Structure 1
Amino acid sequence: MNETLPLSILNNRRIDKWLRFAPDRTVKLAVGKVEIGQGVLTALSQIAAEELDVAIDRIDILSGDTEHAPDEGSTSSSQSIEVSGRSVRLVSAELRTRVLSRLAQRLNCSPDQLSVDDGTFYQDGNPTGQDYWSFAAAEDFAADIAGTATPKPPAAYKVVGQPVPRRDLIAKLTGAAFIHDIVRPDMLHARTLRQPSRDARLRSLNQAAILKAAARDIRVVRVGDFVAFVSTDETAVQRAASVAPAHAEWTGVRVLTPAQQEAAWFRDQPADDRHLGDPLPQSPTGTIVSETYSRPFVAHAALAPSCALAEYRAGHLSIWSHTQGVYPLRNAVADIIGLPRQQVSVRHAHGAGCYGHNGADDAALDAAVIALQIPDHCIRVQWRREEEFGFEPVSTAHMTRLSAALDDAGRPIDWTAEVWAGSHVQRPVFGGTMLAHEAMPNPPPPAKANDPTEANGGGGTRNAFPLYDFPAKRVIHHLALTTPVRTSSLRGLGALPNVFALECFIDELAERAGIDPVVYRLSLLSDPRARRLIENVADRCNWTGRGTAGTGRGLGLAWSRYKNKAAYACVAVELDVDQDITLRRVWCAADAGLVINPDGARNQLEGGIVQAASMTLKEQVTLDGDGITSLDWDRYPILKFSEVPEIDVTILPNPDQPTLGMGECTFGPTAAAIGNAVAHALGARIRDMPLTRERIAAALVR
């Protein structure tokens, strides 16, 4: 076994799991990664088309299907192109090499004499009368992937590196692409009554009042404390679910307080403590400077609520879900409901917004539980907006305290990042629990606090280690053993709050030393790729002409390398501060090595900037009573289209370097650049997100 092969290939060794040639002269490409708005299926199609030398229009890609696609785990952590893209490249190159070697033997020529043009084979430029569809044999696909074929060099690329329109956009723009649009035979609509908290038990339910409010025939399905309302009439079950909480009496409901919604609450909670990096100095030297930064709990805020379909027919359960991992979801659902895994199938369908572990998996289990109670029907579960905000796993609040020992020139000689946060990963595959499972007669034990390993980029520690040339640096991680609400993955995990803290603190240290922040950064940084980005953005935003602080107009800059090993990004933000913050313009430069589809990559960078700006300026999950209180768009505002600034993105060419994941690389730098720009505009620093009107006023009176 070739241990250098990507994990996706190690888990799916046969070529026929990935590729085949169809009679209609298309290439069937199957992948385990799924489309969640990042354009990955277009990029993967480009890679296959490039290595096989076929037109990209011939690539018919299937993704996220436990019956017909390889198991590539979850689509997360900006690894789709790094891992799946590399896998598709190697598989396609190997198939091309294998077929041409067989053809060369038949023609008694060297493989170097053969070429491929849109799937047709030529010898010394002359037609051979053969192509992939006529010549490839079953044995070309049945053998294990060896990983010994050499892919094309970047200089030979014709498709990779070129802008290619995304095929999924037309259907999405015309309203036919999403899971919410699927209609199946014998379909019933369902809504649920959720437990207020995992240990709550349903003492009584006034079904008569609920049936009266529904005003149509509905069926009430109950399994333990899991309750659902089912009907052919979607409006009726929506009415039932809306009134049901008022007609349900629960015991064992937890009580929350607003204090628990702030990151500082974690400081006094039991935690799993870890020390990473250099030991603490026995005799600290230099001037010690410390500051603390925080981000609250935030929601995914998907534009459409979670939805799933499930049907149980002839002993087989089929599920349609906008999950990020069809195989992990299949395994979790099968284990929970007690079916063999081979009797459960999961197919991916597009959702309207995600980038993390939202309610998709939970909705799928909801539909599965109901489907087992009502077989031979397709059960369609769609969460209500209040349910989405109130019960999806949110991203944990996060507090970072930074301390630096400075030399006489104001440069750090010792650095400590101390992080307090809950779990950033509670997917079922990592030991997390799903809502319907918690409500069933034999609920699972509470999920244990868990975070990704440092080898996988960390969770609370993601981007906590600075890449500056400090002589000594360490991270102390306090992973909270419990959280007031369920938490899990959201785009970037701990990178956004950690980069916000790190890059804002660097600005503060530069100001303390009396040195321009860009000059200060460059004096601490030897990485040539990072320096190139910073210099590019500083030049484009006219950094040297940014003016003095405290005028109400601010210009801030920040950079990072996502997970300290993926794509680089530098962001500068110009804004105005009056009673509120108005974003004017954003400049970005990114370095992701070989970029497959520049248009798709640019979309990812821009989308990350907009989402990070929204979190930095507006977003916070609020808690009180028995749960989350930010249950609608009024109480959980996000950035409006009218508030999106002009965004100028440049991707610095680096095609000879390996492709780096870039879906999350602008997240942290955008937040920090906004924080630095606000400090420049006000002449005062706000260290806690979101940067609201109230915090602006408080900063000005300090």
Structure 2
Amino acid sequence: MNVRIRFNPDAPTNPGRRRLLVAGSLTVSFALFPAADVLAQRATEDAAPDATSAALGGLPGNLAGTPLLDAWIRIDERGEITVYTGKAELGTGISTGFIQIAAEELQVRPEDIHLITADTGSTPNEGYTAGSHSTADSGTAIMHVSAQVRVLLLESAGEKMGVSAEQLRIRNGIIAAPDNRTLTFGEAVSGLDLRRNAEPQSQLIAPTRHHVIGQSIQRIDIPGKVTGGASYVQDMRLPGMLHARAVRPPSYGARLISIDSQVERMAGVVKMVRDGSYLAVVAEDEWQAIQAMRALERSALWETSAKLPTPATIYETLLTLPRREIQVAEQHGPAQSAVRTLHGRFTKPYLCHGSIGPSCAVAHLDRGKLTVWTHAQGVFPLRGGLAEMLGMKPEDVRCIHVPGAGCYGHNPADDAAADAALIARAVPGRPVRVQWMREQEHTWDLFGPAMVTDVRASLSATGHVIDWQYEIWSNSHNQRIDNAGRLLGAQYLAQPLAPAPPKPIPMPEGGGDRNSIPLYSFPNFNIQHHFLPDMPLRVSAQRGLGAFMNVFTIESFMDELAAAAQVDPVEFRLQHLDNARGRDVIELAARQFGWNPRRARHAGHGVGFAFAQYKNLMSYLAIAVELRVVPETGDVQIERAIAAIDCGQIVNPDSVRNQVEGGILQSASWAMYEQVQYDSERIRSYDWSGYPIMRFSEVPLHVEVHLIDRPGAPFLGTGEASQGPTSAAVSNAIADATGRRIRDLPLAAGGRLREFTFR
């Protein structure tokens, strides 16, 4: 059974905070301000103008960066509607959601809207598609532009029909007067100039009148994916297209000494591309390119120099690396006497993105203009990096997003695009498709950083947390394309480009310190981030960034504190939580799970609970997990995972459930099984046997996601909400089943529990 509860949008929310995102040479700022109505998504029953944005002197969503209406929506005189977004479809369903938002505000059918996503030649520049910001930022912009265009269409139609705009109604894209005269959108838009700036106020459709928003309409990207249709950049085939493979060094920083030039004479080989230590081969078909790549791999002579840290002592290494100290947050309340103090240190290994489809890109250099089809998450920053790498003008480079078969974070999609661009330059006039191999994807991934967290907390005589001391050791979680040197291929050219130095992401978004501030009410706390600029392995953004580890630590330790206070874990959380919306999701998840504080504990059977608000700014999610541990083997089977989420106003309920379900499985896989294998010279987990992920036999037997809908409230984003809470809930359930707390991830390396014995 799935429960969807609708709440008043006036419900309180946490104070928002300001975020600044720097993408290459472009600076895009997004604002999240106090109160639930700030994003101007509220509307009254009669669709009165929303004045909240005007009062704050800003434009809603991402309109501040691109304020022109016709940058977002265009309607031609045939009435065809095209909506533009700078965000990329990564499998989250945002394309369908944006169509629903625009259709609702324009009062047309979803099938009447054509959506164009993430194309430097036609869409707004919205930076990266990351951090669960797509609907909150781009969706909000599309909603307001659509509402304002609707008003302009009605005004234009009113002038043409000789009646006031207030007397007109729109039904399925037809504008009707009281006397039944009608105009199409195409007729109404004739003579209407939409090249004007958006206004801070919008006459939004009242939530009570919604017919499209809030409905689980079929996602537009699913049919092709389930029927084997061309859905991904990996499926692209262009006329006259060549196939290419890059030849990667055996280890970080290796220098190419010599190659066998005879490879260029192999059947089908068109060209061998070498620039310093960058090496690739181009052929007429894919198999010929693979054969030539393998021949080059066998014959190439490399000088290696990589020295990687000892895996067995990696966490000690992190604790001793040079660091930049960042005081994340602190609060000093009244001093209280502590009756008990607990301490714990938690560790997380390097994690691979494990994209099911290895990275791919297609590039075509034609008459001095370069077009790149890519599954990168930021086509505009990528365009800047490619232009710098090739010495071209940015306006001569066009990057078009095409979905890739697996992403969620900074995987090698940008690097594959750089390969395609470098190789296309060597064979101008013909499109070139570059497909990475599995071992390249795993070996040269930008891993999620290894982390260490340390927490010390004290309890009062009443069983309340009175002091919380928290530390984080982490590398950068963002090595996206600030400059061309961040592209792998550019680092191996004869004139190599150095990557921009790593920088921490400021809070409240945060990088390694994302979600490090507990949402709970602790009178005294201190959070310290030891930012580590030196990166032993190649790392960057992975879904949720530091939130995965920080929520895992916080919520695991909350269970330890609850046990010390002899209070039920759910009740313990509620005792420390003043946030009304947070309490709502905790209570809903516990109720739907059938959480029983007085349950009898049985060895081998455990239940666990966890909660977080993503970034303390976005969606609230609570989850309860039930699992069994096989006494003879230590194998773990998750039997049930029951989650509740509040992501503000829901556009497509089924899409929200899809995202939370997928996040639960991915987070459980990270927590249970995944870790990068390496030695002192190179990465060793170069295939699925070396880097196992959750298999079908290990998927939870039952997953439910219950929704709290808040019509008219801001969109809060869904994609990463379940990453942190799931890992902690699984860990808490294992501790309940075995009587032992495991603080080092993965919990079940090799498929079985560490330190396995029942207590």
Same fold (TM over 0.5): yes
Residue 112 of structure 1 aligns with an amino acid whose one-letter code is E
Closer/same/farther in 2, CA of residues 335 and 70 from structure 1, 3 Å limit: same
Q: Deviations over 1:317-350 (max 9, x none)?
A: 0100011111111111011111111111111111
Contact 2:62 2:140 in 1 (8 A): no
Q: Judge which range, 360-369 or 260-269, deviates more.
A: 260-269
Shift of 1:23: 5.3
Q: Judge which range, 99-108 or 11-20, deviates more.
A: 99-108
Shift of 1:215: 5.9
* Paired position in structure 2 for 1:686: 742
2:669 paired with 1:617: no
2:691 paired with 1:636: yes
Q: Deviations over 1:372-426 (max 9, x none)?
A: 1110011110000000000021110111111112212332111121001111110
In the alignment, which of 697, 709, 714 is matched to residue 658 of structure 1? 714
Closer/same/farther in 2, CA of residues 431 and 583 from structure 1, 3 Å limit: farther
Contact 1:686 1:699 in 2 (8 A): no
Contact 1:463 1:498 in 2 (8 A): yes
Shift of 1:137: 3.3
Q: Deviations over 1:603-660 (max 9, x none)?
A: 0010100110111111101111432111111111111122211101100222242211
* Paired position in structure 2 for 1:133: 186
Contact 2:322 2:533 in 1 (8 A): yes
Paired with 1:267 and 1:285, the residues of 2 have a C-alpha distance of 31
Contact 1:264 1:399 in 2 (8 A): no
Closer/same/farther in 2, CA of residues 273 and 641 from structure 1, 3 Å limit: same
Closer/same/farther in 2, CA of residues 577 and 360 from structure 1, 3 Å limit: same
Residue 355 of structure 2 aligns with an amino acid whose one-letter code is A
Shift of 1:675: 0.4
* Paired position in structure 2 for 1:66: 120
Paired with 2:722 and 2:624, the residues of 1 have a C-alpha distance of 11
Q: Judge which range, 335-344 or 19-28, deviates more.
A: 19-28
SS at match of 1:652: strand
2:594 paired with 1:542: yes
Paired with 1:179 and 1:357, the residues of 2 have a C-alpha distance of 17
Paired with 1:298 and 1:243, the residues of 2 have a C-alpha distance of 31
Question: Under a length normalisation based on structure 2, what TM-score does the superposition of the two structures give?
Answer: 0.88
Closer/same/farther in 2, CA of residues 440 and 120 from structure 1, 3 Å limit: same
Paired with 1:546 and 1:581, the residues of 2 have a C-alpha distance of 24
Q: Deviations over 1:422-452 (max 9, x none)?
A: 1111001378711111011222234422232
2:536 paired with 1:484: yes
Q: Deviations over 1:150-172 (max 9, x none)?
A: 21121111110111100111111
Shift of 1:489: 0.8
* Paired position in structure 2 for 1:102: 156
Q: Percent identity at matched positions?
A: 37
Q: Judge which range, 360-369 or 227-236, deviates more.
A: 227-236
2:422 paired with 1:365: no
Residue 14 of structure 1 aligns with an amino acid whose one-letter code is L
2:730 paired with 1:700: no
Closer/same/farther in 2, CA of residues 130 and 356 from structure 1, 3 Å limit: same
The two structures, once aligned, show a CA RMSD in angstroms of 2.2
2:580 paired with 1:528: yes
Gaps of at least 5 residues in structure 1 are: none
Paired with 1:592 and 1:435, the residues of 2 have a C-alpha distance of 36
SS at match of 1:445: coil
SS at match of 1:444: coil
Contact 1:261 1:297 in 2 (8 A): no
Shift of 1:277: 1.6
Paired with 2:295 and 2:307, the residues of 1 have a C-alpha distance of 22
Paired with 1:484 and 1:34, the residues of 2 have a C-alpha distance of 31
2:240 paired with 1:186: yes
Contact 1:218 1:237 in 2 (8 A): no
1:544-563 correspondence to structure 2 within 5 Å: 544=596, 547-549=599-601, 551-563=603-615
2:334 paired with 1:334: no
Paired with 1:71 and 1:441, the residues of 2 have a C-alpha distance of 32
Q: Judge which range, 288-297 or 56-65, deviates more.
A: 288-297
Closer/same/farther in 2, CA of residues 559 and 139 from structure 1, 3 Å limit: same
Paired with 2:134 and 2:163, the residues of 1 have a C-alpha distance of 38
Contact 1:288 1:406 in 2 (8 A): yes
Shift of 1:111: 2.2
1:156-305 correspondence to structure 2 within 5 Å: 156-175=209-228, 176-197=230-251, 199-208=253-262, 217=269, 219-259=271-311, 262-278=314-330, 286=338, 287-305=340-358
Paired with 1:129 and 1:542, the residues of 2 have a C-alpha distance of 55
Residue 523 of structure 1 aligns with an amino acid whose one-letter code is Q
Paired with 1:188 and 1:12, the residues of 2 have a C-alpha distance of 37
Q: Deviations over 1:29-52 (max 9, x none)?
A: 111111110000000000000000
In the alignment, which of 659, 663, 670 is matched to residue 726 of structure 2? 670
Paired with 2:78 and 2:335, the residues of 1 have a C-alpha distance of 74
Paired with 1:576 and 1:204, the residues of 2 have a C-alpha distance of 56
Contact 1:218 1:236 in 2 (8 A): no
Contact 1:30 1:70 in 2 (8 A): yes
Q: Judge which range, 11-20 or 488-497, deviates more.
A: 11-20
1:342-357 correspondence to structure 2 within 5 Å: 342-357=395-410
* Paired position in structure 1 for 2:369: 316
SS at match of 2:606: strand
Paired with 1:570 and 1:288, the residues of 2 have a C-alpha distance of 26
Q: Judge which range, 554-563 or 437-446, deviates more.
A: 437-446
2:359 paired with 1:306: yes
Q: How many residues align?
A: 698
Contact 1:573 1:677 in 2 (8 A): yes
Closer/same/farther in 2, CA of residues 254 and 701 from structure 1, 3 Å limit: farther
Q: Judge which range, 133-142 or 509-518, deviates more.
A: 133-142
Closer/same/farther in 2, CA of residues 660 and 404 from structure 1, 3 Å limit: same
Shift of 1:236: 2.1
1:114-125 correspondence to structure 2 within 5 Å: 114-124=168-178
Paired with 2:315 and 2:116, the residues of 1 have a C-alpha distance of 42
Closer/same/farther in 2, CA of residues 260 and 326 from structure 1, 3 Å limit: farther
* Paired position in structure 2 for 1:419: 472
Closer/same/farther in 2, CA of residues 138 and 371 from structure 1, 3 Å limit: farther
Q: Deviations over 1:204-261 (max 9, x none)?
A: 22344x569x665452110121100110121122123235334322225212244278
Contact 2:147 2:204 in 1 (8 A): yes
* Paired position in structure 1 for 2:459: 406
